[in-house]
A and B are shown apart, each in its own frame.
Chain A
Amino acid sequence: MNVQLPTGRELFEPKRPGSQDIAWCPGCGNFGIRNILISALAELELKPTEVAIISGIGQAAKMPHYINANGYHTLHGRAIPIATGVKAANPQLTVIAEGGDGDMYAEGGNHLLHAIRRNPDITVLIHDNQIYGLTKGQASPTTMPGMKTPTQPWGVFEEPFNPVALAIALDASFVARTFMGYFKESVEIIKKAIQHRGLAIVDILHPCVSFNKVNTYAWYREHTYWMEDHDPYDREAAFRRAIERDPLPLGIFYINEKPTFEDQVPAYRNDRTPLWKREPKLELVKRFFEEKKL
């Protein structure tokens, strides 16, 4: 790659024995996303101990094993509620929920909808390759109609999920789309997503070299364009962009600054201490019993 990589990346390069043998196929877009993510974290000058990457299941969800940061590789579709719990327990952590299009839009779809309503200060990165890779090539919610797969031999006929339009419709806090083939731009978008206070959703287009023969590197380059002169604070304009289909716009569609979940829970109104440092308020328990005597 002929890109100038930022310094500080080595901090996020894992040295654990199990992180050396990467399970992704040669040429997989996930390698690019890993590079982008590590670069973004390094450029933001974060420390590995300050970051927690919570993933679901699938090839994308193996990310915590290939990065040196706190990580939790969880269950299919459940990265968002788990990440929400992590952030709510310790708002000092930079929390990233990561998974594929099946993980976030199918199995975890309901959690995504409600996370948008709840607005925890987490970043949701969706590796969107429009196919199920780890289970070997079934259609995903974002697969384009007409694509034939082993389980849709007649060709997909369902309307593809439009995560960007959906998120804007629900008034999400931060919505962006990128293609991992554009390294520098993707690093910038992910940095902004992480820095954004509130739920940041980044749909990251990437090819699956093994099972998606339609949406290749070349296809994404030909069928995407970068939005220029777009005001991300204009929701209607954002929505109009979001429903464009071909070419697909890339960039930050929508920013809606609003209070986060952690801003609003009573736990942090007077005290920002992470929950793990707190002790039971036994004085209040005693007082409770005193009042129950009356």
Chain B
Amino acid sequence: MTEFKGDVSIVLGGAAGQGIQTVEGILTYALKKSGYHVYANKEYMSRVRGGINTTEIRVSSRRVRAFVKRIDILVPFKQGVLSWVEDRLDENTVVLGERENVEESFLGKVNLVEVPLTRMALETGSQLYLNTTAAGLIVGLFHGDFSAIEEYIRKRFGSKGENVVRKNIEAAKKGYDLGVRLCEEGTIRVEVERDESVRDEVLLTGTEAVGIGALAGGMNFLSFYPMSPSTGVSTFAAQHAEEFEIVVEQVEDEISAINMALGAWYAGARAMVSTSGGGFALMSEAISLAGMAENPVVVHLAQRPGPATGLPTRTMQGDLNLVLYAGHGDFPRIILAPGSLKEAFYLTAEAFNLADKYQVPVIILTDQYFVDTYYNLPAPDVEKVKFERHIVEAKPGYRRYELTEDGISPRAVPGYGEDVVIANGNEHDEWGDVTEDAELTIKMQEKRAIKKLETIKRNAPLPKLIGSENAEYLVIAWGSTLHVVEEALQKLGREDVALLHFSWLYPLNPETKKFFEGKTVIAVENNITGQFAELLKKEFGVEVQHKVLKYDGRPFSVEEVLETLKGVIE
């Protein structure tokens, strides 16, 4: 008998096109509705069919929000899955599935609990029901609410007709009963306590958190060119375009996408583009225009490994330098990187106020791991989203680039007020007309690159310290690695190690420096050079004593971070 307590990691693996996502959908929905904390993440290959994709689902009695390497229950839908995840298997892993999906070399080495999923599906009427049977089976192991599965199936397959719904429910029930039986027979025992409060929580993906955050921030224009892993946000916007009455347009290239967004902002819209590193590379010309013309814009960049096409469906925090230095000449920008889904919601909404206020490009950095992560959380408080409009009326004699103390010129939009608005990508005078005057050039350069930058810095929020101020070791993380480092530190359980998480990456408030004084600094980054550690060094002269780096296109696991930190500290 194999027993799992408190926190179970289930991995489903199969070919692209085999419907793993259906299983994932049913499972997370039904288990969350049954009162379990759930977390899911997937890794997939850059192909439409075939290959091997896996999904990890953690089911727990307490909040779980990070990727673990450990696999408690593995459900393979085809041969090759075990080899693909070989380094994640241990003596406790239970392989739940059909013998023919287990490679010869693993037979006898793993705890195989044979379940005739295909036969059960065929008994229901078709191999097509394999997914729902498997989903039912797992929910059964947890004695979850079967009615939740039914509900999900009705929602998901309702449009396909009553017969499809009925058959899927039948398939799920067969799986469910078997799951319950496996527990009763004592083959597998799963003990996870339910938490009733989970039922009232929302189940959200990183993609949705960014997308709904943007809509809450007043985004009413999104232009994009599809690129993994950022496309989900554009799809999300497109699917909500009618309801929210916004403009969403798939354009000819990334150059057009960002320029269209700049035009929209110039005319007063709140526009966003969603892209990945390669797409952003094409946008850097327009980022520079935004810098010179002081044209607000919001960019969501979901990172994937580069350079060039890199690993299109995998993850990395490798584009910080790209967004930090994109565009020629000196001009300020704001770089944000949410760590949690909640933060992604609020920060994306806030990005629009920031862009509007400071009239700079605001870049939200996520990555494949982040956008594809989902878990339950209390619904964010929508009332807390502040909508700040920083548009002024163009009074007679209006000067778009008026020189001010804080470097921020009041921004009018065409058609509001009695005067006209002249924006310009060339160096310009206060009215926006082209100039080659040396004095004025100096003033305008200083306005943008010094005064405005200083104003933003002064108002920049500080990073979040998790743990004691007096800790000897300070672990630095940014963006998507928040939860994984947090969980690793919980497991480490040492008072002398604290986490400093950055979701506002640039420009940094000068006060940030105080966090590092007298500490041994350890940076955890999902890239090969430690780009953020370099930034800290450049900005504050911070010496990062240890860099924990991962750059194989996969996210950090809790175990990896924990082991590496132990190695560094002990």
Binding site for B on A (CB under 8 A): 16-19, 23, 48-50, 52, 54, 57, 62, 64-65, 68-75, 78, 81-90, 92-93, 110-111, 113-114, 118, 261, 265-271, 274-282, 284-286, 288-290, 292-294
Contact = CB atoms under 8 A, between A and B. Distances in A.
A82 B415 contact: no
Given A85-B266, A265-B247, A274-B267, A18 B414 contact: no
Interface stretch (B40-48, B332-340, B421-429): B421-429
Given A81-B263, A82-B259, A285-B216, A49 B434 contact: no
Contact of B429 (A17, A64, A268): A17
Interface of B: 33, 151, 199-204, 208, 212, 215-221, 223, 240-249, 251-253, 255-257, 259-271, 285-286, 289, 293, 349, 379-380, 382-383, 385, 387, 391, 394, 413-426, 428-429, 431-435
Most buried by B among A19, A89, A285, A290: A89
Given A70-B421, A293-B200, A86 B267 contact: yes
Contacts of B286: 75, 78
Contacts of A114: 251-252, 256
A277 B252 CA distance: 28
Contacts of B417: 49
Contacts of B255: 78, 81, 111
A23 B433 CA distance: 12
Given A72-B423, A86-B264, A274-B268, A93 B414 contact: yes
B414 A282 contact: no
A19 B293 CA distance: 18
A276 B271 contact: no
B263 to A, nearest CB: 3
B425 A280 contact: no
B289 A75 contact: yes
A83 B256 CA distance: 11
B420 A276 contact: no
Given A16-B431, A265-B249, A90 B382 contact: no
B263 A90 contact: no
B260 A275 contact: no
- What are the 4 A-B residue pairs with the smallest beta carbon separation, nearest first? A276-B268, A85-B263, A18-B433, A82-B263
B382 A50 contact: no
Contacts of B151: 294
A81 B421 contact: no
A280 B249 CA distance: 19
Contacts of A93: 267, 414-415
A70 B415 contact: yes
18 contacts: A57-B425, A64-B422, A71-B422, A72-B423, A72-B424, A73-B434, A74-B293, A78-B255, A78-B259, A88-B247, A88-B264, A111-B256, A261-B249, A267-B245, A276-B416, A280-B349, A289-B382, A292-B203
